Each structure stands twice: as structure tokens, then as C-alpha cells.
């Protein structure tokens, strides 16, 4: 009778432990109780389900990883294209700045030329009244010489 009570207690105690049943742990009676109560099979099924979920998650992770690798490669191509475009734009900016510097030098030179012409015009405007007076005086002198020449022709023709 004592053996029956111990056996009964083992089975009842094993039933409580059947939720997390491991026949390799907890001694002989616990192991036997796990096997009789299907706790071990339940544990194996639950763990197999967890393993299946983990494998599925791993497969999804690999798919995501491959997709991310493709996206990374695509982004690398885009970055390379943008880098080339940036390099070309830098070259264009350098050329424009060089042309701009040349144009600025040209404008500065032309501005100086314009200033020189303006100074000459101002000097000529200052000289203009003197030149007109000289021109008027030369015209009078030319008329006087013409009259003298006419008079000399008349004298010459009269001889």
C-alpha cells in the first residue's frame, strides 16, 4: 500500500510538472510521469512549432536581407551617378567661374577704355572754344590772303 501511495503521488506530482516536462531532469519518477502524461510529447510538439516559426522567421529574414542587399546595390549605383553628376557640376562651376573672371577682367579693361575716351572728350570740349577761335582766325587770314592773291593777279595781268 505504501508503494501505491508513492506511485500515486508520483503520478499526481508528475501531472503538475507535465506542463514543462523533461524526462531527463527531475529524477526517475518525474521522467516516468512525464512520459505517461504525454507532457513530453506536448513539449516536443510545442518546441517543434517554435522551431518551425523560427525557421520561417529565418527564411523571411533572409528574403529581407536579399531585398536589402538589392536596395543597397541600387543605392550604390544612384550614389555613383550622383557623384559623377556632382563632379561634372563642379567642373562646370569652375569653368563658369573662370569665364566669369575673364569677363570681369574684360569688363574692367573696357571700363578703363571708356574712362579714357571720356577724359579725351572732356579735354577736347575744353579745347573746342580755342580751336574755334583759331579756326575763325585762320579763315580770316585765308580770306585776307585770297584778296591779296587776287590783287596780285590783277597787278600781274595789268602789266
58-108: pLDDT as tens digits: 999 999 999 999 999 999 999 999 999 999 999 999 999 999 888 999 999
Number of domain units in the chain: 1
Which of residues 145 and 26 earns the better pLDDT score? 145
In this prediction, residue 37 carries a pLDDT of 76
Task: With respect to residue 22, please indicate whether it lies within any of the assigned structural domains.
Answer: no
List, in order, residues 6 or more apart from 67 with CB less than 8 Å away: none
Task: With respect to residue 86, please indicate whether it lies within any of the assigned structural domains.
Answer: yes
In this prediction, residue 126 carries a pLDDT of 85
CB-CB contact of 19 with 39 (8 Å): yes
- Cα angle vertex 122, ends 110, 124, to 5°? 110
Residue with cell 561634372: 88
Task: State the residue range of the domain holding 80.
Answer: 38-158
Task: With respect to residue 14, please indicate whether it lies within any of the assigned structural domains.
Answer: no
| Mean pLDDT of all residues belonging to the chain | 83
Task: With respect to residue 45, please indicate whether it lies within any of the assigned structural domains.
Answer: yes
In this prediction, residue 50 carries a pLDDT of 94
Task: With respect to residue 2, please indicate whether it lies within any of the assigned structural domains.
Answer: no
Amino acid at each position: 500500500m505504501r508503494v501505491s501511495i508513492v506511485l500515486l503521488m508520483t503520478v499526481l506530482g508528475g501531472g503538475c510538472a507535465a506542463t514543462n516536462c523533461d524526462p531527463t531532469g527531475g529524477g526517475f519518477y518525474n521522467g516516468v510521469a512525464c512520459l505517461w502524461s504525454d507532457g513530453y510529447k506536448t513539449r516536443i510538439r510545442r518546441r517543434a512549432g517554435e522551431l518551425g516559426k523560427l525557421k520561417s522567421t529565418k527564411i523571411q529574414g533572409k528574403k529581407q536581407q536579399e531585398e536589402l542587399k538589392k536596395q543597397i546595390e541600387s543605392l550604390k549605383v544612384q550614389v555613383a551617378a550622383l557623384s559623377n553628376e556632382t563632379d561634372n557640376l563642379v567642373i562646370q562651376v569652375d569653368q563658369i567661374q573662370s569665364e566669369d573672371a575673364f569677363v570681369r577682367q574684360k569688363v574692367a579693361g573696357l571700363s578703363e577704355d571708356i574712362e579714357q575716351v571720356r577724359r579725351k572728350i572732356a579735354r577736347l570740349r575744353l579745347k573746342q572754344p580755342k580751336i574755334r577761335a583759331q579756326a575763325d582766325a585762320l579763315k580770316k587770314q585765308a580770306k585776307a590772303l585770297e584778296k591779296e592773291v587776287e590783287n596780285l593777279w590783277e597787278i600781274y595781268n595789268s602789266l
